Amino acid sequence: MATEKELNDFLKSIEKRAFKRAVYHVRDEEAALDIVQDSMMKLASHYGDKPAPELPLLFQRILSNTTLDWFRRQKTRNALFSNMGDFQGDSDDEFDVTETFSAATESESNENPEVITSRAQLLRDIDFEVQQLPARQREAFLMRYWEDMDVSETATAMGCTEGSVKTHCFRALQALGKALKAKGIRL
């Protein structure tokens, strides 16, 4: 059983990554924040009594399901109010990757402004290309490489086979590599 401190520490450790993942999926910061908060509440209220090592995988599954629920609600809302523009969200808001990063470290603050600007542009380009991936590819990519989950954990969290995870990741890497290479970015 996870203690209250273990649960709190776990939630603190994943909040920024979970938010970033949710923003990649829904492309709306306010909705992403709601999704992450709902997921954290569900984990704490329904699974707080589980052992601490089980929490990461449980949380990833809850976050995926909560995100899917959000998309279902949006689809229903859009079908009901498709002719009522007042009910539509403002889609002009774009996610700025630089807003989610922590303040610059000491070494970064001494860097040349040109290098800092170049790095920020590179991060925006990568962020844009990740957002362009199909939903399942983006989800598999983020779980494997952002959340550092193994293939088995990712498959369990996504509700698919390990082969599907590998295929989604391969296609995501191919698409990202091709898109970034076209922009002249070599990583």
Residue 16 lies inside a defined structural domain of this protein:
yes
Residue 89 lies inside a defined structural domain of this protein:
no
Domain finish residue from 38, 59, 81? 81
- Residue 38: which of 55, 15, 54, 17 has the closest Cα? 15
Q: Strand ranges (DSSP E) for 43-96?
A: none
Range of the domain at 182: 112-187
What pLDDT does 186 receive? 74
Residue 93 lies inside a defined structural domain of this protein:
no
Residue 18 lies inside a defined structural domain of this protein:
yes
Domain finish residue from 59, 81, 103? 81
Both 118 and 171 in one domain: the answer is yes
CATH code at 150?
Answer: 1.10.10.10
- Looking at the structure of the chain, the number of domains it has is 2
Both 76 and 131 in one domain: the answer is no
CATH code at 76?
Answer: 1.10.1740
What pLDDT does 95 receive? 47
What pLDDT does 110 receive? 63
How far, CA to CA in Å, does 179 sit from each of 111, 126, 134, 146, 187? Answer: 28, 9, 14, 19, 12
Both 77 and 1 in one domain: the answer is yes
CA within 13 Å, CB half, 9: 7
Residue 24 lies inside a defined structural domain of this protein:
yes
What pLDDT does 94 receive? 52
Residue 97 lies inside a defined structural domain of this protein:
no
Both 179 and 140 in one domain: the answer is yes
Both 70 and 123 in one domain: the answer is no
What pLDDT tens digit does each residue of the chain (187 aa) get? Answer: 888 899 899 999 999 999 998 998 888 899 999 999 999 999 999 988 899 899 999 999 999 999 988 888 887 776 655 544 443 444 445 544 444 444 444 445 567 788 888 888 888 888 888 889 998 999 898 888 887 788 998 898 889 999 999 999 999 989 988 988 888 877 6
What pLDDT does 66 receive? 92
Residue 92 lies inside a defined structural domain of this protein:
no
What pLDDT does 142 receive? 86
Instruction: Give pTM, 2 decimals.
Output: 0.58
